[in-house]
Amino acid sequence: MSQSQLQRARSLDLPSREAMLQRAPSVQQFWDKNRHLLSDAWREWEESEQECLFTPDDSLLGANLRDAVVQAWEDPTKESAVRDLWQEVSPGVFQCQFFDPERLADLRGYLEDLANAKIPLRPPYGIVLNRRGAMLDPRSEGFLAAPGFQRFYRELVEKYMRPIARLLFPEVMGYDTQTFGFSIQYQAGMDTSLRLHTDASAATLNINLNLPGEEFTGSEVDFYDPNTGRVKRLTFKPGSAMIHRGNVPHAAQPITSGERSNLVLWLYGDHMQIPQQAEQNVDIDAHLRWTVPSLALNRNERNIRCYD
């Protein structure tokens, strides 16, 4: 009897950690060669688990944020209710309760089910092959192609992140047609910190997934203000999110105990374009903010045909 796509995917020999760290050509070839196999395997796995598999949607979000965003999509002139939920905690850095802490166990359980599917996933390279991380966006090789997760991922970006980024940073409008995302888990004694850097994004949304009572020490995020030279050190609470322009320098301090789990989402323009400093403080009509760019919409329609 021939193997199913799921069985074939599970039996693949992954590139070595050393080859991935060195970005060997064979690594790219592996993911390119097996892209369709892996997508088919994720669909097959989800169908086999559908009776017991949790379905993620925006009911996982905090009620205040969800209700304000729904209202703004219906009437953009009421978008101030969304803006009021985001506190500026450092220059150009805003924080809000994103996920409902009481629903995080559902989301984490779902993500654990995905991790236990034993389908190869490519870890993020930029954080030294974070062992519990995964690529989330279809533009990335070895991404998490489970159809249910992809629907949830698109909802987070299209319905929430993009209009919120446009509201807080109006100049990202027109530089937000492309998306990128990954998950990351900081573990004491393993992938423990991230040096000072900027992101190749117009805007970055960093969402914490730690459960209430799932404590960790260290792993604070430092935001550097180049205008004053000051550093603001911030800590995530369960389900909270920080959003900032990609050009804000930031770093993660070493984690000293426990684990910190996050989703990180980016927006940027075609050909990796991001706005320049001089473009800040532009005036954008509210009704334009609460729209999906045509390029992003066309891409998502293609993805729906591929992954739903």
pLDDT for 197-244, tens place per residue?
899 999 999 999 999 999 988 888 999 988 888 999 999 999 999 999
Dihedrals φ, ψ of 8, to 5°? -60, -45
Q: Which amino acid is at 284?
A: I
Whether the predicted pLDDT of 307 surpasses 80: no
- Rounded to whole angstroms, the Cα distance separating 3 from 9 reads 10
Q: Which of 268, 27, 241, 13 is nearest to 139 (CA)?
A: 268
Judge contact between 66 and 58, C-beta under 8 A: yes
Residue whose token pair is 């984490």: 108
CA distances from residue 190 to 117, 132, 133, 166, 213 in whole angstroms, order as listed: 23, 11, 13, 36, 22
Sequence-separated (6 or more) residues with CB below 8 Å from residue 196: 222, 224, 249, 250, 251
Instruction: Extract long-range pairs of 287-292: CB within 8 Å, 24+ residues apart.
Output: 287/76, 288/173, 289/76, 289/79, 289/163, 289/166, 289/167, 289/170, 289/173, 290/72, 290/73, 290/76, 290/79, 290/163, 292/158, 292/162
pLDDT by residue (tens digit) across 54-110? 999 999 999 999 999 999 999 999 999 999 999 999 999 999 999 999 999 999 999
Q: Which range, of 82-96, 148-162, 178-192, 291-305, averages the lowest pLDDT?
A: 291-305
Whether the predicted pLDDT of 191 surpasses 80: no
Whether the predicted pLDDT of 127 surpasses 60: no
CA distances from residue 244 to 86, 93, 170, 250 in whole angstroms, order as listed: 11, 5, 12, 10
Q: What is the mean pLDDT of residues 142-169?
A: 97
Q: Dihedral sign, CA of 166, 169, 172, 177?
A: negative
Q: Which range, of 1-10, 272-281, 293-302, averages the lowest pLDDT?
A: 293-302
Residue 123 — very low, low, confident or very high, per pLDDT cuts 50/70/90?
Answer: confident
Residue 253 — very low, low, confident or very high, per pLDDT cuts 50/70/90?
Answer: confident
Q: What is the mean pLDDT of residues 25-37?
A: 95
Provide, rounded to the nearest whole percent, the portion of the chain with pLDDT above 90. Answer: 70
What pTM value is reported for the model?
0.91
CA distances from residue 260 to 18, 36, 100, 108, 123 in whole angstroms, order as listed: 25, 32, 17, 12, 16
Provide, rounded to the nearest whole percent, the portion of the chain with pLDDT above 70. Answer: 90
Task: Enumerate the domain spans of the chain.
Answer: 55-307
CA distances from residue 223 to 13, 126, 166, 195, 257 in whole angstroms, order as listed: 40, 19, 21, 11, 22
Q: What is the mean pLDDT of residues 180-186?
A: 90
Judge contact between 292 and 301, C-beta under 8 A: no
Dihedrals φ, ψ of 268, to 5°? -160, 170
Radius of gyration of the chain (CA): 19
Whether the predicted pLDDT of 301 surpasses 50: no
The CATH number for 55-307, chosen from 3.40.50.10490, 3.40.190.10, 3.30.390.10, 2.60.120.620, is 2.60.120.620
Residue 178: other Cβ atoms inside 10 A: 21
Residue 300 — very low, low, confident or very high, per pLDDT cuts 50/70/90?
Answer: very low
The alpha carbon torsion through 250, 152, 148, 75 (nearest 10 deg) reads -170
